[in-house]
Amino acid sequence: MTKLLVLITLFFLSTGISICQTKKDIIIDADTANEIDDLFAITRALIDPSINVLGITSSQFHTSPNASNKSNIESHIINQKLIKLLNADNTELAIGSNRPIKDSLNPIKSEASDLIVKYASRFTENKKLTILILGPCTNVASAIIHDPSIVSKIEVYYVGFWHDKINNNYDKNQLLKIVDLLDQKNQPARLLSLGEQQRLSLIRALLLRPRLIMLDEPTANLDPASTKIIEDIIISLKEFGIKIIFVTHNILQAKRLADEVIFFDKGKLIEHSNSKEFFLNSKSMKVNNYLNGIL
pLDDT in tens, 243-287: 888 888 888 899 888 889 999 888 888 899 988 899 998 888 988
H helices present in 147-183, as ranges: 172-178
Domain contains 188: no
Domain contains 47: yes
pTM of full prediction above 0.95: no
* Torsion angle of C-alpha atoms 89, 91, 95, 99, degrees rounded to 10: -140
Q: How many domains in the chain? A: 1
Per-residue confidence (pLDDT) for residue 20, from 0 to 100: 37
Whichever domain contains 23, its CATH number is: 3.90.245.10
Domain contains 107: yes
Q: Cα–Cα distance between 237 and 13 in angstroms, integer?
A: 9
Per-residue confidence (pLDDT) for residue 140, from 0 to 100: 93
Q: Cα–Cα distance between 247 and 225 in angstroms, integer?
A: 20
223 close to 251: Cβ distance less than 8 angstroms:
no
Per-residue confidence (pLDDT) for residue 15, from 0 to 100: 34
Domain contains 39: yes
Domain contains 150: yes
Per-residue confidence (pLDDT) for residue 145, from 0 to 100: 93
Domain contains 210: no
A 10 A CB-CB count for 16 gives 8
Domain that holds residue 32: 17-160
Q: Cα–Cα distance between 69 and 67 in angstroms, integer?
A: 7
Domain contains 292: no
Which H helix or E strand runs over 206?
A: helix 194-207
What one-character DSSP code corresponds to residue 120?
Answer: H
Q: Which residues of the chain have pLDDT under 70?
A: 1-21, 63-66, 160-171, 207-209, 238-241, 295
Domain contains 24: yes
Reference 245, options 230, 232, 260, 225; nearest CA is: 260
Q: Cα–Cα distance between 243 and 30 in angstroms, integer?
A: 21
